[in-house]
Structure 1
């Protein structure tokens, strides 16, 4: 008789439950019983083989070795249960690796875990002929192959989840360190956090600031890391609002550091702070770079990257008291100490004459005397009056120095 036709309008036929799986055959049930009885022996054999073949296992402390032994036992027990109900969905990663603490993923590497799993699978494979019931050897071998694939995926998942959690925690910790340095709140706690991130306390540190590109900040941070590895620099970096902050160690040339890391920055100014000797002093470099980045808008033709010292006049005019103090202490005071002739000559040349001959006439000296005195200005300050940009910096320094003199108590 032909089977009854299916009626799509009949909900009982459309949603009828699937047929239950057939109960295991006799030889399959016998294999299961043998597996259960042999689980302890197989686990002990696996541990003994690890001790014999894996040097890293022998070198581990007893606590970690005991955890690995539990993982091996859990793996064999999970295979037995999986072999009992192969059609049932099971979380192998939870069954096998859930017995070990999360810290074990830090104690042993992914490569070592793969060696541990491979050793355990080899021990189980070598015992197939002994454990399987007669006629069930091929079924057990095929099941072990499938289980080995599943345990490999579960291993990768465990380490991927641990890496994601560790990466997220490290990113938050790194942001705290970078923010503390930028805000001037760096202390001994910042040093310990940086050490936890692998910072080796280089003695030459530069802070580079610029605009962060649009998009995923994690991709930007990873791009900075790739550039730093290529340049052999240590970095702590983060995206804080619209700014991309990089604390770089290992080079005493700020421009070279900034050029090596400039690729991931968005278009716009990039400013490198002065070189400092340690992470706590990096606050000074960071604050100078922040002030320079703010002042860059007043100098549209500023180089990219620019040094904070290149932006001293703009920083001073924007209210940066450190820049004002630096201009006075590094330019005006040395000229003042070198004699009034240098200050007078520089003032006349910059503010009134604009030429050697004109300055010579106003000072009633020979043009060669003016030329000599201007060279002395360059020697004393490092800024050349004949260069347009340097002349602007010198002129601002003269103005600030005179204002500073007026504020001195008489």
Structure 2
């Protein structure tokens, strides 16, 4: 019979080391429920916003207070172990709590709970452990303060990312001409208060972080007391601005963050749904701006009407015909004839008067009437160019109508 193999006897499991302040830990565990109830009672007595809250929100705060005290007990049991305070304490309440309770209110809630725990140290701590428990509470209060800041910072980042996506959807819908009531609702969720006057600005976005550009636009808008929805779409910086009936003044107040190059302001429209027209005009103006090398910066989309018309913008062509040619046509053939001769033949009052067989004062009077009717002065070089393009387009439209 083979010799039996001898094996060492299994040693019994060594017991866990006793806590150096076991008596205080045990008393703290037994007092957790009472401390949480006292903290909630203190909040009800001293915090008016807590009393005004609906029962559901108060119950969430009660859960957070209980979790905070329980987390402190665990902290006292293992002071050196890494612990996720934010998860242990604030994980008991739903994410909506950060919207229902402000950061200031949360700080007041945490302060009240810590004060209740601090006032109970002499009762909870075993004889001789008062200083130890007080020091542990101070360290825990520091950690809970950092945890509170972390929770609200994460919530703010999540809301900021969501708001940025929502704002991008609104800006893209306006720029693409697809704005609808859903777009208005999204804008309202971003704080857009439906201002009376709205215009769209377009220009080149600067290189670098687009978030910094957007924030710079918002700072400039706050300084100018304007509402804005903005975003960087590709290489373009788009701003939907509300609150002013002067698009050129709006563009000048917000032009700082734009990169070098033309910045075009669309016409003022009454609301966000109509902003698609302003955006279309601004986009057409930005495409055609290369044709006017001496254009001011910023420039109105309406000041680029002749370039836009030559760049095949049907809206610009219609606007030139409807706002210049048709009114002149309705004012009488004498105005059209005089303007045509002045712009295309003579380029002077005396020359036009000789060709028309009238006195130069008659030509001068008719040209003033042209200015009154159209808003464009034939004596100004730029306005004369616009009037000449309008005459050409009007004649083409009339020919098409006859045919």
Q: TM-score, normalised by structure 1?
A: 0.94
Which segment drifts farther, 366-375 or 163-172? 366-375
1:335-378 per-position Cα deviation (integer Å, ceiling 9, x unaligned): 11111111111111101101111111111111111111111110
SS of aligned partner of 2:126: coil
Deviation for aligned residue 1:95: 0.2
Provide the C-alpha distance between the structure 2 equivalents of 1:372 and 1:201, rounded to a whole number of angstroms.
44
Provide the C-alpha distance between the structure 1 equivalents of 2:293 and 2:138, rounded to a whole number of angstroms.
67
Partner of 1:406: 399
2:260 to 264, 267, 271: 267
Partner of 1:76: 69
1:195-241 per-position Cα deviation (integer Å, ceiling 9, x unaligned): 11111111110111111111001111111111111111111111000
Partner of 2:303: 310
2:287 to 287, 294, 318: 294
Partner of 1:331: 324
1:65-98 per-position Cα deviation (integer Å, ceiling 9, x unaligned): 0000000000000000010001110000000000
Provide the C-alpha distance between the structure 1 equivalents of 2:123 and 2:114, rounded to a whole number of angstroms.
15
Deviation for aligned residue 1:181: 0.5
1:198 to 191, 196, 208: 191
Q: Does 1:207 align with 2:200?
A: yes
Deviation for aligned residue 1:260: 1.0
Q: Does 1:161 align with 2:144?
A: no
SS of aligned partner of 1:375: helix
Deviation for aligned residue 1:23: 3.9
Partner of 2:11: none
Q: Does 1:283 align with 2:287?
A: no
Q: Does 1:391 align with 2:384?
A: yes
SS of aligned partner of 1:210: strand
State the superposition RMSD in angstroms. 1.1
Q: Does 1:88 align with 2:81?
A: yes
Q: Does 1:349 align with 2:360?
A: no
Deviation for aligned residue 1:22: 6.3
SS of aligned partner of 1:185: coil
1:119-146 per-position Cα deviation (integer Å, ceiling 9, x unaligned): 0000000000000001111000000000
Q: Does 1:129 align with 2:118?
A: no
1:255-313 per-position Cα deviation (integer Å, ceiling 9, x unaligned): 11111111111111111111111110000001100101111110011111111110000
Provide the C-alpha distance between the structure 1 equivalents of 2:179 and 2:138, rounded to a whole number of angstroms.
55
Partner of 1:24: 19
Provide the C-alpha distance between the structure 2 equivalents of 1:96 and 1:409, rounded to a whole number of angstroms.
80
Q: Does 1:241 align with 2:234?
A: yes
Unaligned segments of structure 1, at least 5 residues: 1-20
Provide the C-alpha distance between the structure 1 equivalents of 2:249 and 2:52, rounded to a whole number of angstroms.
44
1:166-219 per-position Cα deviation (integer Å, ceiling 9, x unaligned): 000000000000000110111111111111111111111011111111100111
Partner of 2:172: 179
SS of aligned partner of 1:334: helix
Provide the C-alpha distance between the structure 2 equivalents of 1:164 and 1:186, rounded to a whole number of angstroms.
27
SS of aligned partner of 2:294: coil
SS of aligned partner of 1:408: helix
SS of aligned partner of 2:402: coil
Provide the C-alpha distance between the structure 2 equivalents of 1:55 and 1:261, rounded to a whole number of angstroms.
42
1:55 to 27, 48, 52: 48
